[in-house]
Amino acid sequence: MSPELIDFVGKIRPESIVDIYGVIRPAQVKSATLNHLEMEGHQLFLVSPSVPSLPIHVEDCSRFQPLMDEHRDLAHNIESRLLTLQSQMETATGDIKSQLRTELAETQLQKAALAQSGFIELSQSVKLDNRVIDLRVR
């Protein structure tokens, strides 16, 4: 290959679209996706050159897996934290319900004891404007 051609190929941005014509043959390549084949290029055509400043680069797209792993780990951590908070909330709700049931049972026992002794439960509403006192016997 001529130095001019190597210089031309070296200036093509990775995001550009090219057509390459050549021969594929078996080889031991360590720095390529297919490590058992290589291509000997005979012709190269620049189909669509990339613009100088793309918002994303091909190299960034090729590293998507670690980022996806980070997002998956983050999603797992958030889900675990939500489950922990939900469990804590259910425990607290259960504790509050248990406490309310205990207080209700105590109140019912106190009312039953007072009723056996002849006490009457009164509930009153006072209307101060009309000076009317409304007493209800339960």
Q: What are phi and psi of 133, to 5 degrees?
A: -110, 125
Same domain membership, residue 135 and residue 81: yes
Residue 138: inside a domain = yes
Domain count for the chain, please give it.
Answer: 2
Residue 59: inside a domain = no
Structure tokens at 100: 């309310």
Residue 103: inside a domain = yes
pLDDT in the model for residue 60 = 67
Domain residues for the domain of 85 are 64-138
Q: What is the mean pLDDT of each run of 10 residues along the chain (138 residues)?
A: 81 86 86 80 86 68 60 76 82 86 89 84 58 52
Same domain membership, residue 134 and residue 72: yes
CB 76 within 8 A of CB 33: no
Same domain membership, residue 68 and residue 114: yes
CB 44 within 8 A of CB 20: yes
CB 43 within 8 A of CB 21: yes
pLDDT in the model for residue 54 = 63
